[in-house]
Homo-oligomer: A and B are copies of this chain.
Amino acid sequence: MKYVIIGGVAGGASAAARLKRLNEDAEIVLFEKGEYISYANCGLPYYIGNTIEDRKKLFVQTPVSFGNRYDVDVRNLNEVTAINRDKKTVSVKNLRNGKEYEEKYDILLLSPGAEPIVPPVPGIDLPNIFTLRNVTDCDRIKVEAVDKMKDNASAVIVGAGFIGLEMAENLRRIGYDVTVVEKAEHVLMPLDWPMAAIVQQHLKDKGVKVITGNGLAAFKGSEDNLVVVLEDGTELSCNLAILSIGVRPNTKLAEAAGLKIGEAKGIWVNEYLQTSDECIFAVGDAIEFPHPVTGKPYCNFLAGPANLQARTVAMNMVYPETVKYQGSVATAIAKVFDLTAASTGLNENNLKKQGIKFQTVITHPAAHATYYPGGSPIHLKLNFDPETGLILGAQAVGTMNVDKQIDAISLLLKHQGTIFDLVNSEHAYAPPFGSAKSPVMFAGMVAENIFAHLMNPIQADELDEILDKGEDINLIDVREIQEFKTGSIQGAENYPVDELREFLEDIDPDKKTVIFCEVGLRGYVASRILMQSGFDEVYNLIGGMKTYRLIGRHLK
C-alpha cells in the first residue's frame, strides 16, 4: 500500500510515524513544500524573544533523521501543486531544481495547515510587515527585529489573539516599545470581557500600549519608518509590524481537486477524518469538524487536536473506519507576561450568535490554600445552561494553576459534563497545590446554587443597566466598613454581612435588592438571609467588586 502525505509539520509527520508503526510494509512519501518538517511551531514567538536561545531546539526531527527512523521517503522543498483524483496521483514541483513530476498514491493524506490572513490594505507590501506561521517567517523576523534592531525600536502588533499577545510579550522582552491593535472591542476575543479586562490591564502594566475597537486601514512610510494607519485615522510609527489577525484553513489543493469544503470553510471530513473522496483523508488546521457541544462544524487551529487527528487518521488509513475522531472543544492557553489566560468551549459571543441560553458564574478563588505562602487569585468564568446544568464553556486568568482548572473543565466538556460533575469532581489537594474546594468545584457550587434558585445572579453589565436607568433599588455592600470606605458602587449602602440580621428592618423588602461583596461569597450568605426574610427579589452581584472594579461604570 502506498501512502502519500501532503504537509510535514504536526499532523503529517505524526501520521506518517504512526502509519509506519501500524504497517511496516507501507510505502510512505511525505511532501513538505518548506525546508523543515516536524518543528516546534508553537515555540516560534519564544525563539524571537530569546526565551528559547538555541534555534536547533525548534526542530524535533530533521527530514533525514525522521526518514531513517520511520523508513519514510521525506521530500521537503517539494510542493504538491495538484491532486489528480482520476489518476490517483499528485503533481509535484521540486523547489530545489524546478522540476515537475507526478507521484502515485493508493491513500492520500492532506495536512496542509492554515495560512495567515493578510488583509489587502494599501501598503501591505511595504517592507518590515511580517506574519509568523513557520520557520521561514520566524527567521525573517529574527533578522529584521533582533539582529538589525535599532535604538528605541518600536513594533505594532495587529491582532490581539493568543499569538499576537505572545509576540507582544516577546518583543517587549527584547526591548521593543510595543503597541497592540485590535479591531474587536477587547484583546483575546476567545475570552469574555470580564476575563479579557484583566489581561488588558496587565498588558498596560507591562508597558504595552493597547488600542481596541480600531482596525487596520493601511500601511505607509519607508523602510526606516513604517506607519500603521488605523480605521479612525490614527497613525502609529514603528520599525516593524506583525500581522496576527488570524489564519484560514489552507484548502486550495482540496478545492481545486473538487473535494467538499464545509460550511466553516475548512476541508469537510467525516468522523474517520475521510474527505468526500474515500481515498483521501485530511487532518490539522485545514479541516473543519463539528463542535462536541453545539454539533456545528468549526475550524480550530490547535496543536493538541492536530496530533490526536494524526493518530486517529493513521489507524483509519490502515484499518478503514475503526476509530472515530471526537472533535475538539477549542481549549487554548497563552502566557501573557506574568499572567496565564486560558479558555475552553463557548464564550458569550459564540453562545449569543448561536442562540444558546446561558448563565454565567465568575469566581476569584485562591490558586492554593491562602495560608500557604506564594499564592495568588485565579479568575474563573463558567458559562452553563441554566436549565440543564450542562457546561458550555469556561475561561480563566491568573498567575498560577490556571491551566489545570481549564484542563479539568475541558475534560468534562468533551463528555457533556454538567455543573453537578464540577461539584462532585475530585482533585489532588495539599496546601502547596490548591484548596480543599478546587476552583472548578467552587465554580460548580456557585452555578448549582443558581440552578437550584438558592441565589439569583446579576452580572456587572446588568447592574450597570439598572444604575444607568436610575431604577430605585436597594444596593447593598455587605463587606466590612473598612472595605466599603476604600471604594464601592455609586448609591450603595453598607451593611456588613455579619451584622445584617440586626438591620433587616432598615431595608425595604418590597424593593428589588442587589447585594455585593468583594468576590461574591459574603454576598451569597447575605442574599440567603434576605431571601428567607421576606425580601421579594434579591440578586447577588456575580464576581463581586473584583469584577465590577474592572468593568463596572458606576464606581465610587
**CB under 8 Å from chain B, chain A span 1-59:** 10, 17, 20-25, 40, 42-43, 46, 51-52, 57-58
A106-114, A124-132, A367-375: which lies at the interface: A367-375
Interface size class of A (residues with CB under 8 A): 35 or more
Contact A333 B430 (CB under 8 A): yes
Which chain B residues lie closer than 8 Å to A424 at the CB level? 308, 326, 414
Q: Is A65 among interface residues, defined by CB-CB distance under 8 A? A: yes
Contact A407 B428 (CB under 8 A): yes
Q: Is A171 among interface residues, defined by CB-CB distance under 8 A? A: no
Most buried by B among A307, A372, A412, A429: A429
A252-260, A505-513, A527-535: which lies at the interface: A527-535
Which chain B residues lie closer than 8 Å to A46 at the CB level? 372, 431
Query: Nearest chain-B residue to A427 (Cβ)?
Result: B407
Most buried by B among A414, A445, A498: A498
Q: A250-278 CB contact bits vs B (8 Å, 1 = yes)?
A: 00000000000000000000000000000
Q: Is A281 among interface residues, defined by CB-CB distance under 8 A? A: no
Determine which of B42, B69, B411, B433 lies in contact with A425 in the assembled complex, contact meaning CB atoms within 8 Å.
B411
Contact A372 B52 (CB under 8 A): yes
Contact A369 B428 (CB under 8 A): no
Query: Nearest chain-B residue to A21 (Cβ)?
Result: B528
How many Å from the CB of A342 to the closest CB on chain B? 5
Which chain B residues lie closer than 8 Å to A42 at the CB level? 369, 429-431, 436
Measured between alpha carbons, how far is A370 from B60 in the docked complex, in Å? Answer: 9
A87-95, A241-249, A297-305: which lies at the interface: A297-305
Q: Is A328 among interface residues, defined by CB-CB distance under 8 A? A: yes
Contact B501 A437 (CB under 8 A): no
Query: Nearest chain-B residue to A39 (Cβ)?
Result: B371
Contact B406 A428 (CB under 8 A): yes
Q: A312-336 CB contact bits vs B (8 Å, 1 = yes)?
A: 0000000000000010110111110
Given A407-B404, A426-B328, A426-B411, is A528 in contact with B433 using a C-beta cutoff of 8 Å?
Answer: no
**CB under 8 Å from chain B, chain A span 418-449:** 421, 423-434, 436-438, 441, 445
Which chain B residues lie closer than 8 Å to A528 at the CB level? 20-22, 24
Q: Is A296 among interface residues, defined by CB-CB distance under 8 A? A: no
Q: How many copies does the complex hold?
A: 2
Q: Is A311 among interface residues, defined by CB-CB distance under 8 A? A: yes
Contact A304 B438 (CB under 8 A): yes
Q: Is A189 among interface residues, defined by CB-CB distance under 8 A? A: no
Which chain B residues lie closer than 8 Å to A20 at the CB level? 528
Q: Is A408 among interface residues, defined by CB-CB distance under 8 A? A: yes
Which chain B residues lie closer than 8 Å to A17 at the CB level? 525
Measured between alpha carbons, how far is A488 from B408 in the docked complex, in Å? Answer: 39
Contact B431 A371 (CB under 8 A): no
Measured between alpha carbons, how far is A408 from B423 in the docked complex, in Å? Answer: 15
Measured between alpha carbons, how far is A408 from B404 in the docked complex, in Å? Answer: 8
Contact B333 A429 (CB under 8 A): yes
Contact A331 B426 (CB under 8 A): yes
Measured between alpha carbons, how far is A524 from B70 in the docked complex, in Å? Answer: 12
Contact A43 B437 (CB under 8 A): no
How many Å from the CB of A191 to the closest CB on chain B? 13
Contact A426 B408 (CB under 8 A): no
Contact A304 B433 (CB under 8 A): no
Q: Is A451 among interface residues, defined by CB-CB distance under 8 A? A: no
Most buried by B among A51, A69, A344, A373: A69
Query: Nearest chain-B residue to A10 (Cβ)?
Result: B436
Contact B404 A415 (CB under 8 A): no
Determine which of B58, B303, B499 lies in contact with A371 in the assembled complex, contact meaning CB atoms within 8 Å.
B58
Measured between alpha carbons, how far is A3 from B18 in the docked complex, in Å? Answer: 62
Which chain B residues lie closer than 8 Å to A459 at the CB level? none
Q: Is A68 among interface residues, defined by CB-CB distance under 8 A? A: yes
Which chain B residues lie closer than 8 Å to A429 at the CB level? 42, 302-304, 331-333
Which chain B residues lie closer than 8 Å to A533 at the CB level? 24
Measured between alpha carbons, how far is A437 from B20 in the docked complex, in Å? Answer: 19
Q: A278-312 CB contact bits vs B (8 Å, 1 = yes)?
A: 00000000000000000000000011111110010
Q: Is A174 among interface residues, defined by CB-CB distance under 8 A? A: no
Measured between alpha carbons, how far is A410 from B373 in the docked complex, in Å? Answer: 26
Q: Is A464 among interface residues, defined by CB-CB distance under 8 A? A: no
Query: Nearest chain-B residue to A445 (Cβ)?
Result: B311
How many Å from the CB of A465 to the closest CB on chain B? 28
Contact A433 B403 (CB under 8 A): yes
Given A10-B436, A21-B524, A407-B408, is A369 in contact with B427 using a C-beta cutoff of 8 Å?
Answer: no
Given A21-B524, A51-B373, A329-B426: 6 more A-B contacts, CB < 8 Å = A40-B431, A331-B426, A334-B430, A407-B438, A410-B427, A414-B426
A-B contact pairs, 12 of them (CB 8 A): A22-B454, A40-B369, A40-B431, A304-B429, A340-B433, A403-B404, A403-B428, A403-B434, A404-B407, A407-B438, A410-B426, A414-B425
